Structure 1
Amino acid sequence: MSSSNIDALPYYDKQIDDPHFKAKAQALIEAEMRSTPKVEVDDPRLPPQTEIFSKSSGLRELLDNYNEHPIRGIDVSKYAPPQANPNESLDELKEIEKRGWIGEGHMALRNENVQILSTYGPNAWLVRNYQLSTQLTELQAAVTEMKERVTELNRARRVFQEDTGQHLSRLEGRWQDLVGATVQLEMACGAMEGEVEGLRIREERLQAEVKQLEG
């Protein structure tokens, strides 16, 4: 990790625990969020919307407004055999017979599909479940690995920031000591300058007295 441009050590700095600093940080975050442009729904950087059940309009209709309108049950009336009244005309009876044959053919096809499903469906279901289980295991392993990497990264960041914080604290303490020593040195220099000035004035006074005595 680079040690340049260090301006925040969240694992070491404790100023954020102060309500005053916390409020200031929150205000800065909110200001940054207000200045950040919002991403539109049609932004090209976003993935395209996926149309669910694009090949089945019936399933799409069932899912439309699902929260407001629960999914309806299967309408079994369309599978019921047509009923003929005694006073039906010949054309109407032919139409009823036609619908009956169509319904019978449809049910025969459904029975055939059920038999095929009973024969091959369980194996296909088991194979697909095995594939999904394998994919789930791989995804869980990937998630576990990613969590371990994140944990290791956070651990490394914590160690780095704590070491850096301690180093900065030592430098800050040394800086304070040097500043204190500099202030003391300046005070000592000022005192010595005062003493030197006093000695110079005394020297001048003594020289003046000597001249008076000689004169």
Structure 2
Amino acid sequence: MSSLSYIDALPYYDKQLDDPSAKAAAQALIEAELRKTPQINDDDERLPRTIEVFPKSTELSALLDGYPSKPIRGIDTSKYQPPTIGEEPTLDELEKAEKQSRIGEGHMALRIENTSILSSHGPNAWLIRNYQLNSQLTELQSSLNNLKENVTDVNRSRRVFQEDTGKHLSKLESRWQDLIGSTVQLEMACKAMEGEVKPLRRKHESLKEEVESLEKQ
């Protein structure tokens, strides 16, 4: 049997829940059912696994650690700054300063190269990506509008069906009440007739006894 056979409520037609006491009773039943429903743990296998957005970039993962509850940690730019040495530096200090200078020089060269590439190809890439995003947005909006229309059609058809069904049920209920009233009236008439028949039967028995006594004389 289909599960629809067990549905006995017509939300678009029934007005019982307009009563605050009935609404409170229904809410109490819902809360009791929710308390009996088993809760799903965070590590349940049916839940999707946590996806690492940047699994191959440990530096970026560390930079975004705790986001958005924690502010993003700033990038340490001290290793790209020009080195500073004293008036009489040691050999280790000079080697460290040279290494830091090479790092800064390489960083600046890479930034210049990236800036050049960005200025050459960035505008076109940006326009192409915007075109792709606009196409995706148009498609998603069209899908959303179709879904909203489908939801509206379903709700409209449900409302029409429930209102027609509710009217039919109201007619059947009225007919049932009429039949119950007719049955009660018939039972009352039968009781009244039984009350009238009993004295007639007693009188009939009395007359019958008188006739038998007269016949014996």
Partner residue of 1:162?
A: 163
1:76-131, Cα deviation, whole Å (9 max, x unpaired): 43322212322013453244234323321321121011101100011001111111
For the aligned residues, what is the CA RMSD? 2.3
Worse-matched range after superposition: 191-200 or 175-184: 191-200
| 2:135 alignment partner in structure 1 | 134
Cα 1:191–1:158, aligned 2, differ >3 Å: closer, same or farther? same
Distance in 2 of aligned mates of 1:155 and 1:68 = 43
C-alpha spacing 1:180/1:101, structure 2 compared with 1 (3 Å): same
Match of 2:197 in 1: 196
Aligned to 1:122, the other structure's residue is in SS state helix
Alignment of 1:118-133 (within 5 A): 118-133=119-134
Structure-2 residue corresponding to 1:50 = 51
Paired with 2:178 and 2:63, the residues of 1 have a C-alpha distance of: 76
Q: Partner amino acid for 1:109?
A: L
AA in 2 matched with 1:113:
N
Corresponding position of 2:11: 10
Name which structure has the greater RCO, CA cutoff 8 Å, separation 6+. 1
The farther-off stretch of 30-39 and 94-103 is 94-103
After superposition, the Cα gap between the structure-2 partners of 1:66 and 1:5, relative to the gap in structure 1 and judged at 3 Å, is closer
* CA positional deviation for 1:41: 1.1
Matches within 5 A, 1:2-151: 4-66=5-67, 69-151=70-152
- Report the residue type matching 1:122 in the other structure: P
1:171 corresponds to which residue? Answer: 172
Give the total of aligned pairs. Answer: 215
CA 1:137 to 1:163, structure 2 compared with 1: closer, same or farther past 3 Å?
same
Of stretches 147-156 and 61-70 in structure 1, the one that deviates more from structure 2 is 61-70
> How far off is 1:193 after superposition?
2.2
The alpha-carbon distance between structure 1 residues 137 and 68, as it changes in their structure 2 partners (threshold 3 A), is closer
Alpha-carbon spacing, 1:126–1:67, altered in 2? closer, same or farther (3 Å):
closer
- Decide which moves more: 128-137 or 59-68: 59-68
Q: Distance in 1 between matches of 2:144 and 2:214?
A: 103
Cα deviation, residue 186, structure 1: 1.1
Q: How far apart are the structure 2 equivalents of 1:204 and 1:47?
A: 91
User: How far apart are the structure 2 equivalents of 1:75 and 1:3?
Assistant: 64
Indicate the percent of aligned positions where both proteins have the same amino acid: 64
Cα deviation for residue 211 of structure 1 reads 4.4
AA of the residue aligned to 2:105: E
Q: Is the 8 A contact 2:83 2:101 kept in 1?
A: yes
* Amino acid across the alignment from 1:125: W
Cα deviation for residue 72 of structure 1 reads 3.8
| Superposition TM-score, scaled by structure 2 size | 0.88
User: Which shows bigger deviation, 65-74 or 27-36?
Assistant: 65-74
Q: CA deviation at 1:176?
A: 0.9
